[in-house]
Each structure stands twice: as structure tokens, then as C-alpha cells.
């Protein structure tokens, strides 16, 4: 088993190359580091300039399920196995959140709570927030047993709607990460349906 240091060093070149290919500076990017050794999967934080580079150019120190930035040029990177990466953007206040929505936090109503964080901490109006949901595993490949075997996308949308965001503000990718081999799928790797394990990622940034 790799140590934390070995894992960080092994993924650093790929993440750095990906960011640079999209004209983003690694030193201006923060990792959304999801940690499962906890009972709380609804951990949210608003970043400041000193948080730039955390988990990208230096070892990660921020464990979170969603991060928020309020200034342009501060990018957020979220690695994904099969879960949903939710990009939430307040078009009026220009506030950006990148949220991880997987089985653990959806069972704690994380789709609703991350929007409520934007409302309570940044006075966002949910009608001003637009949402994009990343590719994720479908219910055929990854049913959520706690939600009557529904999909990650379906449950995420239901919870986001419950927070007051209108349905017309939500766009979900039609891609099934477990079926499309352009994407890594951890669940399919565990079922021996993929030769290699890995992560795809979402990067979100407000351009100046």
C-alpha cells in the first residue's frame, strides 16, 4: 500500500500537466480532498488566497466535501471515482463552489446542505445559482440502495431542488462513467471490468 507521501508524489505530475494544458496555474489551484475516515461527509470551507496550491503544489491539509472561492483565478480540482462533481455558480455574487456528491454525503443530504452553506455563509439566492453535474455511474452500475436503487444523478438533483434551486438551473452530464471507457471507474475496476484503476477530475475556476 502506498503511503500518503508516495500517493501525492505519484499523482502530482499528471495533475500539474492537466492544469497547465487548460491554462491554469498549479500554484493557483486547490484540491478538494475527500477523506472517508470520518462520520461527517458535509464539510464545507470558503478558501482564501493562502489556500492556493493546497494539495497541488504541496501536501493537502484541507479535508472537505466542497470548497468555495469568491475571487477569479482561484481554481478548484476534484478527483472522482464514480461520484458526482457538482459545480455551483452564483451568477449575481460571482461565488463558485465545487462539491463532491457521493453515496456517503448524499445519505447525509449533502446535495441540500452544500447549497444551504452558500445561502447561510454567502447570502446566495438559490435562483441565482446554476449547477452542472459531472459524469457519474448510472443506477444500472451503481444503484444507491438507501434511495430505492436510484442513481447518483437523480438523488443529487432531488436534493439540490430541495434547497431551492430551480430545475431549469441544473444541467447533468448524460455520460455514464461506468460504461464509457474514456473515464476511469473505480466501481468497475473492483468488479474486474477494468484493467486499471484511476480517477477522472473536474476543475472549476472563475476567469478574470
98 has pLDDT over 50: yes
Contacts of 29 (CB under 8 A, 6+ apart): 19, 52, 53, 56, 74, 75, 76, 77, 203
Name which CATH class applies to 4-204.
Answer: alpha beta
Report helix, strand or coil for 207. Answer: coil
Average pLDDT, the chain: 91
What's the N-to-C CA distance of the chain in angstroms? Answer: 41
Whole-model pTM over 0.85: yes
Retrieve residue 33's grid coordinates.
480532498
Determine if residue 167 is left, alpha or beta; phi over 0 gives left, psi from -120 to 50 gives alpha, anything else beta: alpha
Burial of 73 (0-12, 13-18, 19+ CB in 10 A): middle
User: Quick one: how many helices (H) and strands (E) in the chain?
Assistant: 5, 9
**Cα–Cα distance, 80 to 163 (Å, whole number):** 24
- The CB-based long-range contact list for 32-38 (8 Å cut-off, 24+ gap) reads 32/64, 32/65, 32/66, 32/67, 32/76, 32/77, 32/78, 32/98, 32/99, 32/100, 33/60, 33/62, 33/63, 33/64, 34/63, 34/64, 34/65, 34/78, 34/100, 34/102, 35/63, 36/104, 38/63
Give pLDDT tens digits for 51-78.
Answer: 999 999 999 999 999 999 999 999 999 9
Give pLDDT tens digits for 134-181.
Answer: 999 999 989 999 999 999 999 999 999 999 999 999 999 999 987 767
Q: What is the DSSP letter of 149?
A: T
Amino acid at each position: 500500500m502506498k503511503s500518503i507521501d508516495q500517493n501525492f508524489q505519484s499523482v502530482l505530475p499528471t495533475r500539474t500537466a492537466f492544469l497547465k494544458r487548460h491554462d491554469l496555474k498549479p500554484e493557483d489551484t486547490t484540491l478538494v480532498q475527500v477523506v472517508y475516515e470520518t462520520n461527517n461527509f458535509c464539510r464545507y470551507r470558503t478558501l482564501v488566497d493562502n489556500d492556493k496550491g493546497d494539495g497541488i503544489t504541496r501536501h493537502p491539509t484541507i479535508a472537505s466535501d466542497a470548497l468555495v472561492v469568491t475571487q477569479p483565478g482561484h481554481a478548484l480540482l476534484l478527483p472522482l471515482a464514480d461520484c458526482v462533481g457538482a459545480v455551483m455558480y452564483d451568477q449575481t455574487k460571482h461565488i463558485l463552489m465545487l462539491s463532491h456528491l457521493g453515496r456517503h454525503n448524499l445519505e447525509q443530504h449533502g446535495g441540500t446542505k452544500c447549497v444551504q452553506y452558500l445561502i447561510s455563509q454567502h447570502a446566495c439566492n438559490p435562483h441565482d445559482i446554476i449547477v452542472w453535474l459531472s459524469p457519474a455511474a448510472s443506477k444500472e452500475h451503481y444503484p444507491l440502495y438507501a434511495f430505492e436503487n436510484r442513481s447518483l444523478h437523480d438523488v443529487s438533483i432531488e436534493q439540490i431542488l430541495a434547497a431551492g434551486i430551480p430545475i431549469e438551473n441544473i444541467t447533468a452530464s448524460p455520460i455514464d462513467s461506468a460504461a464509457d471507457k474514456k473515464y476511469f471507474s473505480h466501481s468497475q475496476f473492483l468488479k474486474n471490468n477494468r484493467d486499471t484503476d484511476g480517477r477522472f477530475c473536474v476543475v472549476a475556476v472563475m476567469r478574470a
